Structure 1
Amino acid sequence: MNLKEALQTRTLVGDGAMGTLLYSYGIDQCFEELNLSHAKEIINVHKAYIDAGADIIQTNTYGANYIKLSRYGLEDKVKEINTAAVRLARQAATENHYVTGTIGGIRGIKKQAVSLTEIKRSFREQLYCMLFEEVDGILMETFYDLDELMTVLQIARKETNLPIITQVSMHEPGVLQNGTSLTEALTTLETAGADVIGVNCRLGPYHMIQSLENVPLPSKAVLSAYPNASLPAYQDGRLVYKTKADYFKSSARALHKQGARLIGGCCGTTPEHIAAIADEVKGKTPIEHKDIPIQKAVPKTQLEAKNTKPHLHEIAAKRPSIIVELDPPKRLNTDRYLQGAKALKEAGVDSVTLADNSLASPRICNTAIASIIQQKYDINPLVHISCRDRNLIGLQSHLMGLHTLGITQVLAITGDPTKIGDFPGATSVYDLSSFDLIHYIKQLNEGISFSGKSLGMNTNFSVAAAFNPNVRNLNRAVGRLEKKIKYGADYFISQPVYSVKQLKEIYEATKHISAPIYIGIMPLISSRNAEFLHNEVPGITLSQEIRQRMENSSHDPGRAQSEGISIAKSLIDAAVELFNGIYLITPFLRYEITEELTHYIKKKTQQRKERTIVNGSPVI
């Protein structure tokens, strides 16, 4: 009887964790490489699970793909490692056992980190190794990203008629990390041709059973479940799982009741856990009927977020708009800062933007300052959010806090590395890139947390993204804009530009993009300031002409500042003819300069309005 036939007639028992058992033996390295260097230990693990009652054992190949093996310098050993893994499993198994070739998911919370093109190439290489060695089936497990799993499933389905087991993983019971319900995800996999659909990893038995309660019995495929032993504890630098085998016995009974026909174990499980599962469900007739509890719909009123002010991308799409960066102070006295914010509000700016510890140097929390100026002066703040300083937990918490404060304008950035700041030894987190952060903020706008569960309410963030035109290849930079739009960016804020010619080039390169672009204008205040920006600050380039003009006035601080303002005005003259958004960056809290430039922009945009009405239509 082949594996597909066996799954249709009885409940099968899978094996448990390979890595957990090897780790308990004191082995802490690339587990897949052990297929070559420690073959005996791998065979012993397989035999231990077979002796415990497993019907199916999986090859030690979860991370044996080009992408993951490259972390250890083993990317050229994909074929050798996978071939050895199948042969070792075959050596351990008898004719009454099945061997599945295991392929693990690659993407986690960072969807942008690895492209689907790279994943497909890596998957095919591993798949062909296993098919050549004639495995009994393919097990694709621990996929958090449904798009990735669907992509590789379609490849595998074209290449083989062997049974394919597909297992998703969830951060939260019942939903994938993008908010797709488990039921919907499994139905999608069944429709795409998976023979077994199920869940594994991350969750222990309790939450896995809870998740399957709402999943109906599939019409063609069969259900599987490979729970973790428990939630892990962290002791003496190690993750420890403490669930007892007796608990797994009762859990296996409950999983069988929910329709699972293939039950095994994931992280933390041992032969003892598998023996408990086998003792309870091995060989049992699968259930043929299951009652699904009625789900109560969440009232729509709970999902609506208030929006009392227009978003900046909406403003810039209709009329000229000015935003001003006024960085929070590095010291605790906020008097001058608040005076500046008030002056800028009275000058008529549409928003004050607040950097998130720019150049990796600590400042007063921009959320605290944003809340104060919003309440005190009715300013619409634009809060920068860097991926550098907060992990996933901190980022979501931070965004939920902004929503609670009624702050809806955010700029998603990766963030300057810590080594350039005041604390070069500090850790850069970078759980996400700016692309990922944009995507997950928009997911919050759908009322879905980073982990996929409901927030009970939609956020209402307008998401800005950074644009650096000061690069050798402007078309490549524009390509990044287009990619950020796909991830959900509503508009863009550019690095400072110091050339009229460059402004025209940017306009020509971006005129096909409908999302507004706020062009950065940062007035210079001295020759030293100009040289520092040009030579030491990433993303800023000054022309030789600008640098020379500042050098010519270097002997007189007042004249130097006036020259910097004059340069800024000449740039503004060109920018207001080409773009609806101007982004003024205040130098060293000298808000009077920005205030003057704000009035100048308003004057120039009014002149533009009066000048460019032709045949009843505005011309840009």
Structure 2
Amino acid sequence: MNTLLDALSEKILIADGAVGTLLYSYGVDRCFEELNLSHPEEIINVHKQYIEAGADIIQTNTYGANYSKLSRYGLQDQVKEINEAAVRLAKKAAGQGTYILGTIGGIRAINQHISLEEVKRGFREQLYCLLLEGVDGILLETYYDFEELKTVLQIVKKETDLPVIAQVSMHETGVLQNGMDIKDALGELELLGADIVGINCRMGPFHMVKSLEGVPLPKSSFLSVYPNASLPNYEEGRFYYAAEPDYFGDISNELRLQGARIIGGCCGTTPAHIKAVKERLISREPVKEKKVKTQELIKLKDPHIQKNLLHRKVKEKKTLIVELDPPKHLDTGLFFQGAKALKEEGIDAITLADNPLASPRVSNDAMGTLVQQKFGLDPLVHITCRDRNLIGLQSHLMGLHTLGIHNILAITGDPAKIGDFPGAASVYDLSSIELIELIKQNNDGLSFSGKSLRQRTNFSVGAAFNPNFRHLDASVKRLEKKQHAGADYFISQPVFSCEHLVQIAEATSHLHAPLFIGIMPLISSRNAEFLHHEVPGIKVPDEARKLMKEAEGDALQSRAVGMEIAKELVETAMELFNGLYIITPFMRYDMSIELIRYANLIEKEKREVPYDHNIV
């Protein structure tokens, strides 16, 4: 039998279709790779069905047979056994003239921050198992993360001379998740040594044809295409694919005309789909020349740089922001009264929390827009990962940009179970770090899927900092990750100790992203105890709680003591940081105004102190 590459130089080869979704359609809903050990006859039967349908190439049932994915099922110690069994079952099913590809799927996904080092360890383990059992080639499929695919491709090229197929997956037609054009991506994979480059999964055949229209024929490799049957339908708790095999077969000729030498199927395809492809292409020759359709490039609009972006302000001068939470009811009078008064004090921005403590409030984007329109006050809108899935987050960001809101704080958000609606679901499609990355990708003019937004957003993105954990260095390590993800500045939880402020300044001195330090005036002993014992991320020192306790029962004295503590903190913070973040307690914006005036007084006195040339 000719080698796979020899065969491809002469004709189009038909590959098999889905294994996992075919098993799923039979009612199997578990770790499909484990079936290599527990139900080998089922796997052999799937292979035989595809071969009988006309497949020249079959792939091993090993898409997710790596340490990371098998560990979800407690099977991480059976990587070797599962991969070995998969190759043996494929060989048992295959007849003369059938090529067997060892399949390795992508690992890094939307909500998995798996390091490339971890990817490489798991990949090598699986690769060696497949190579030792003897396959005709390696199939790398369903890689949304282009860096991951390039990394593993280089590994496999060093370990074997067998043909390697490198296939990317896209969320949007013709463009990768990172915004890279499919033409450029396949060209880069070819330069890295892939023998066959291609696309698979996520899209049906129509959109794969559209994606390939701008891709020239590879110069030193071949082109492969494994479309999904269609987009999935959902009914009575199960997913299914409705595309007819005849349609799939008919459109396979259009894939041939785009230069495909290997045509198979991904999710939702069955032996009937592959049979239809075989019947349509059995007498067709591969194309040797192709007219590439030129893609109309969309010029990204780069809007005017906003002079009020917080990370710019705070690097240039002492910058003061104040939190005033939207109300829990529809009586917004007091809120707007407070916002107007804060504007008159000259603050740099008003920060608006996103349903803090998981309790619903008037939406902060609505209040931020009105504050901006009514008073010309810049809003800093918080966005939690708790309340919106990925679709909602992307939509929300586009909406904020359209409203002219450009300062954002990306946070995880308190879990729903602690709030007013404990039965509500917490979404958490993204972590706060991944949300920061998404916002930065929007600033490059790209949506999460890599599709052009046709404009660049101009967000200044802040990240939360909790300095009240037992080990400050652990909190700072997380700040470093957020800074690496693209955070422009940090906003801290309230701090109630001057000694703690000094420790924070020393621990964060190496970070180039500026820090707004949180100051929250205490209003009573009860308030201090509640914050200390019941609010996540806040700790009030014993000394402050003692002072508030001594003033208990006297509202005016309690306020005075709380303000005295806060003013001491403001004075120290002004010496150590460029950003001050005042948190208004219970809409008591008069207390915030008093702290604003105190901070401004300190800054004014500092400017008025004459310079003494005798001081060295």
Letter in 2 for 1:131: L
Partner of 1:441: 439
How far did residue 298 of structure 1 move?
A: 2.9
Partner of 2:226: 226
How far did residue 606 of structure 1 move?
A: 2.1
Higher deviation after alignment, 512-521 or 101-110: 101-110
SS in 2 for 1:589: coil
Alignment of 1:197-596 (within 5 A): 197-282=197-282, 284-299=284-299, 303-596=301-594
Alpha-carbon distance in structure 2 between the residues aligned to 1:439 and 1:207: 27
CA RMSD of aligned residues (A): 1.7
2:83, 2:126 within 8 Å by CA — same for their partners in 1? yes
Higher deviation after alignment, 362-371 or 307-316: 307-316
Letter in 1 for 2:383: I
SS in 2 for 1:167: strand
Q: Does 1:52 align with 2:53?
A: yes
Letter in 1 for 2:230: S
1:11, 1:283 within 8 Å by CA — same for their partners in 2? no
Letter in 1 for 2:444: E
Higher deviation after alignment, 392-401 or 481-490: 481-490
How far did residue 308 of structure 1 move?
A: 4.5
Cα deviations by residue, 1:374-395 (Å, 9 ceiling, x for unpaired): 1001110000000110001100
Partner of 1:117: 117
Alignment of 1:15-26 (within 5 A): 15-26=16-27
How far did residue 158 of structure 1 move?
A: 1.4
Alpha-carbon distance in structure 2 between the residues aligned to 1:555 and 1:612: 45
Higher deviation after alignment, 275-284 or 253-262: 275-284
1:577, 1:608 within 8 Å by CA — same for their partners in 2? no
Change (3 A) 1:544 1:402: same
Letter in 2 for 1:118: E
Change (3 A) 1:259 1:445: same
Cα deviations by residue, 1:149-196 (Å, 9 ceiling, x for unpaired): 111112211111111111111110000111111111111111111111
Alpha-carbon distance in structure 2 between the residues aligned to 1:397 and 1:461: 15
In the alignment, structure 1 segments of 5+ residues that lack a partner are none
2:358, 2:418 within 8 Å by CA — same for their partners in 1? yes
Partner of 2:66: 65
How far did residue 612 of structure 1 move?
A: 8.9
SS in 2 for 1:382: strand
1:209, 1:258 within 8 Å by CA — same for their partners in 2? yes
How far did residue 306 of structure 1 move?
A: 3.5
Cα deviations by residue, 1:412-448 (Å, 9 ceiling, x for unpaired): 1111111111112211111101111111111111111
Cα deviations by residue, 1:286-334 (Å, 9 ceiling, x for unpaired): 22211112233334xx512244542111111000000011111111100
**TM-score when normalising by structure 2:** 0.97
Cα deviations by residue, 1:122-165 (Å, 9 ceiling, x for unpaired): 11111111111111111111111101111111221111111111
1:167, 1:199 within 8 Å by CA — same for their partners in 2? yes
How far did residue 614 of structure 1 move?
A: 7.9
Alpha-carbon distance in structure 2 between the residues aligned to 1:260 and 1:151: 24
Alpha-carbon distance in structure 2 between the residues aligned to 1:156 and 1:12: 23
Letter in 2 for 1:193: G
Letter in 1 for 2:185: A
SS in 2 for 1:547: helix
Higher deviation after alignment, 350-359 or 237-246: 237-246
Alpha-carbon distance in structure 2 between the residues aligned to 1:501 and 1:518: 17
Alpha-carbon distance in structure 1 between the residues aligned to 2:173 and 2:308: 36
Change (3 A) 1:612 1:244: farther
Cα deviations by residue, 1:46-86 (Å, 9 ceiling, x for unpaired): 00000011111011111111111111111111111111111
Cα deviations by residue, 1:309-365 (Å, 9 ceiling, x for unpaired): 421111110000000111111111000010000111111110000011111111111
Q: Does 1:138 align with 2:138?
A: yes
SS in 1 for 2:167: strand
Letter in 2 for 1:397: S
Alpha-carbon distance in structure 2 between the residues aligned to 1:229 and 1:592: 63
Change (3 A) 1:443 1:34: same
How far did residue 494 of structure 1 move?
A: 0.7
How far did residue 14 of structure 1 move?
A: 0.7
Alpha-carbon distance in structure 2 between the residues aligned to 1:65 and 1:612: 68
How far did residue 34 of structure 1 move?
A: 0.8
SS in 1 for 2:586: helix
1:361, 1:421 within 8 Å by CA — same for their partners in 2? yes
2:25, 2:240 within 8 Å by CA — same for their partners in 1? no
How far did residue 108 of structure 1 move?
A: 2.2
Alpha-carbon distance in structure 1 between the residues aligned to 2:326 and 2:562: 23
Letter in 2 for 1:161: D
1:494, 1:519 within 8 Å by CA — same for their partners in 2? yes
SS in 2 for 1:150: helix
SS in 2 for 1:588: coil
Letter in 2 for 1:169: S
Alpha-carbon distance in structure 1 between the residues aligned to 2:175 and 2:48: 35
How far did residue 113 of structure 1 move?
A: 2.5
Cα deviations by residue, 1:218-259 (Å, 9 ceiling, x for unpaired): 111211100000111111111121111111122111111101
Letter in 1 for 2:281: V
Alpha-carbon distance in structure 2 between the residues aligned to 1:464 and 1:347: 23
Higher deviation after alignment, 211-220 or 474-483: 474-483
Alpha-carbon distance in structure 2 between the residues aligned to 1:123 and 1:608: 60
Cα deviations by residue, 1:492-529 (Å, 9 ceiling, x for unpaired): 10111111111111111112222111001111111111
Q: Does 1:13 align with 2:14?
A: yes
Letter in 2 for 1:246: D
SS in 1 for 2:454: coil
Letter in 2 for 1:503: L
How far did residue 479 of structure 1 move?
A: 2.1
Alpha-carbon distance in structure 1 between the residues aligned to 2:180 and 2:187: 11
Alpha-carbon distance in structure 1 between the residues aligned to 2:285 and 2:610: 79
SS in 2 for 1:225: strand
2:308, 2:378 within 8 Å by CA — same for their partners in 1? no
Change (3 A) 1:347 1:27: same
SS in 2 for 1:495: strand
Change (3 A) 1:549 1:134: same
Letter in 1 for 2:211: S
Alpha-carbon distance in structure 2 between the residues aligned to 1:411 and 1:440: 13
How far did residue 284 of structure 1 move?
A: 4.3
How far did residue 282 of structure 1 move?
A: 4.2
Alpha-carbon distance in structure 1 between the residues aligned to 2:284 and 2:500: 73
2:16, 2:57 within 8 Å by CA — same for their partners in 1? yes
Cα deviations by residue, 1:81-139 (Å, 9 ceiling, x for unpaired): 111111111100013111111111112223x5222222111111111111111111111
Tell me how many residue pairs correspond in the alignment. Answer: 615
SS in 2 for 1:436: helix
Alpha-carbon distance in structure 1 between the residues aligned to 2:516 and 2:43: 58
Partner of 2:35: 34
